[in-house]
Amino acid sequence: LFLPCASPLSDEGKALLSLKASFSNVANLLLDWNAANATGDGDDDHCAWRGVLCDNLTSSVVALNLSNLNLGGEISPEVGELKNLQSIDLKGNKLTGQIPDEIGDCVALKYLDLSGNALYGDIPFSLSKLKQLEDLNLKNNKLAGPIPTTLSQIPNLKTLDLAQNQLTGEIPRLIYWNEVLQYLGLRGNFLNGDLSPDMCQLTGLWYFDVRGNNLTGTIPDSIGNCTSFEILDISYNQIRGEIPYNIGFLQVATLSLQGNRLTGKIPDVIGLMQALAVLDLSENELVGTIPPILGNLSYTGKLYLHGNKLTGPIPPELGNMTRLSYLQLNDNQLVGNIPEELGKLEELFELNLANNYLTGPIPLNISSCTALNKFNVHGNHLNGSIPLELQKLESLTYLNLSSNNFNGEIPAELGRIVNLDTLDLSANDFSGRIPDSVGDLEHLLVLDLSNNSFSGVLPAEFGNLRSVQVINISYNKLIGRIPQELGQLQYLDTLILNSNNLYGEIPVQLANCFSLTNLNLSFNNFSGNIPLYKNFSRFPPESFFGNAMLCGNWLGSICQPVLHP
Amino acid sequence: SVARRRLLVGPGSWPPTCRARCGRCRPCVPVHVAIQPGRNVLLEYYPEAWRCKCGNKLFMP
């Protein structure tokens, strides 16, 4: 029991107990925060309490570290009594309520971290009284209202992180006139207004992040003056207009402009920005061709241009971007061949060229991209057959060649790409037998061979695809029976085999596929009875339509179903 | 100012040279470092910046 009158504690000790009283979930966390622990020998008993740090000489509380303790409740206004506090770290708790105005009385504060809680209400204006404050981190809360203009009155503020809240209004222009500010994190709020030309007055800033707000207007021409920026992220706003030429004067390592409404061409000058590690211009309305000079960016690891209206060919010069690990050019209007020069990208991890108008074959050199993990050319006009060399891409986990004009047989060697989790060859002109070796792809989750001209039988080796969840081979010319080995597939969720020439009885073993929820065997030549036990009762008649000799419980069936014992 | 000088030199940038940026430690080479901007960002990449690296130590360029 806390009895203030009887307590031998100092005023600061009492303030700490008030803090404790307004927290919840403290039972096991702040056991030693207890007036009964105070012996009365001195004023500094609270200095031994968990998370409390006192000055050696004066015994005043200088730091409070109660981060990541799952604390609930609120921050007591009594915190303002701790006048010598230099550091408050309460991040990663479940604190709610408002930030008390009295926190502005902790005039010695240099470091305030309340991030990762559930604090709501406004950011108190009183924070501007903290003239010693260097780090202010309030991200990941539920703070609303405007960013107080008075924050610009904190002369030593180096880090201002207000990301992931519900802040509204404009970014106060005065904040941009802080010469010591190094980090400005405002992502994930509801801030509006334009990007002010004043933003480049931040001569000490290296991190500028306003991603995911409602900012409008254009990129100011003065952007070239932001030469201290290392990271410029204005993505996912509603920024319009063209990318200004002056952007070429930036020294940034990350330029994130994606998810805006930028128009016009990609300026050639970007090809001179060799400090770029990440260039993301995706999901805008950019037109024109991909400037071949981008191939100059030999230190860039990630290039995202997808989701624009880019036309013309893929410049072979992109093959000179030897550090590239991500190249996403999908969802544009690109034409011509896939340049064989891309084979020089030995560090390439993901290549996405889907949904363009690309023609010609997959160049054999792609097999030199031995780090390639994901390869997607879905939705183009590519032709030719699958090159045998593709088997060298042993790291490949995702291979999508769907919706093109590819033809020929699947090479048996494809079964050597054992890390594949997705193999999508659907909607092409592939023919011939499905090689047994596809059954060697033991990590496969999705196998889509639908809408081709595959003939021959379903390999019994498919029973070895022990992780597979989706098999779709509909709209082909398969013959023969469903191998009973498919009954071994415990994770099979979707089996789509409609519109083939499969025949024979539906193997009762399929009822052992406990996960099977989507089954389509319609429009084949199956006969006999539908297994009517275990999970098979869940499949509607549509799963079996168009099999004239199949016996099931639908209108016009050749028989009434027979219940198995 | 730095900005005005840049305008005179012209556009374009270059990775840091990292010359003498790692104290006495050698070799000192420029590397990309991911900057973690917050939580709940599992599906997106992190922004990256240049740092100078020697052994397992990072230095400001």
Query: Which of A25-34, A232-241, A546-555 tops mean pLDDT?
Result: A232-241
Q: Which residues of A368-402 are buried (b: 16+ CB within 10 A; e: fewer)?
A: bbeebbbbbbbbbebbebbbebbbbbeebbbbbbb
Model confidence band, residue A3 (pLDDT cutoffs 50, 70, 90): very low
In the predicted structure, residue A427 carries a pLDDT above the cut 60: yes
Model confidence band, residue A556 (pLDDT cutoffs 50, 70, 90): low
Report the pLDDT averaged over residues A157-175: 96
In this prediction, residue A28 carries a pLDDT of 82
Nearest CA in chain B to A326: B45
Of A11-20, A441-450, A516-525, B33-42, least confident by mean pLDDT is B33-42
In this prediction, residue A403 carries a pLDDT of 98
Integer CA distances (angstroms), A145 to A123, A148, A161, A342, in order? 7, 9, 15, 49
| Residues A229, B28: Cα–Cα separation, whole Å | 22
Query: What value does the CA radius of gyration of chain B take, rounded to a whole number of Å?
Result: 15
Report the pLDDT averaged over residues A417-425: 97
Q: Are A335 and A357 in contact (CB under 8 A)?
A: yes
Contacts of A141 in chain B (CB under 8 A): none
Integer CA distances (angstroms), A325 to A350, A366, A409, A514, in order? 6, 14, 30, 40
Report the pLDDT averaged over residues A66-93: 95
Report the pLDDT averaged over residues A291-305: 97
In the predicted structure, residue A168 carries a pLDDT above the cut 60: yes
Q: Point out which residues pair with A89 in neighbouring strands.
A: A65, A113
Sheet with A335-336, edge to edge strand ranges = A335-336, A357-360, A381-384, A405-408, A429-433, A453-455
Per residue in A471-502, pLDDT (tens digit) is 999 999 999 999 999 999 999 999 999 999 99
Dmax (CA) for chain A in angstroms is 97
A223 Cβ contact partners less than 8 Å away, ≥ 6 residues apart: A199, A200, A244, A246, A247, A249, A250
Contacts of B42 in chain A (CB under 8 A): none
Greater model confidence, A80 or A556 = A80
| Residues A173, A170: Cα–Cα separation, whole Å | 8
Report the pLDDT averaged over residues A455-482: 96
Assess A224–B contact: CB distance below 8 Å, yes or no: yes
- Beta-strand relationship, A111-113 and A549-551: unpaired
| Residues A35, A6: Cα–Cα separation, whole Å | 9
In the predicted structure, residue A4 carries a pLDDT above the cut 50: no
Greater model confidence, A71 or A35 = A71
Query: What value does the CA radius of gyration of chain A take, rounded to a whole number of Å?
Result: 32
Contacts of A68 in chain B (CB under 8 A): none
Interface ipTM above 0.95: no
Report the pLDDT averaged over residues A373-402: 96
What is the model's pTM? 0.92
The amino acid at A195? L
Interface list for A 280-309 with B (CB within 8 A): 299, 301-302
Report the pLDDT averaged over residues A234-250: 97
Report the pLDDT averaged over residues A121-127: 96
The pair phi, psi for residue A265, each rounded to 5°, is: -90, 165
Interface list for A 260-279 with B (CB within 8 A): 269, 272-278
In this prediction, residue B8 carries a pLDDT of 54
Greater model confidence, A57 or B4 = A57
Cβ <8 Å between A301 and B6: no
Query: Which of A32-41, A173-182, B40-49 tops mean pLDDT?
Result: A173-182
Model confidence band, residue A91 (pLDDT cutoffs 50, 70, 90): very high
Assess B49–A contact: CB distance below 8 Å, yes or no: yes
Report the pLDDT averaged over residues A230-256: 97
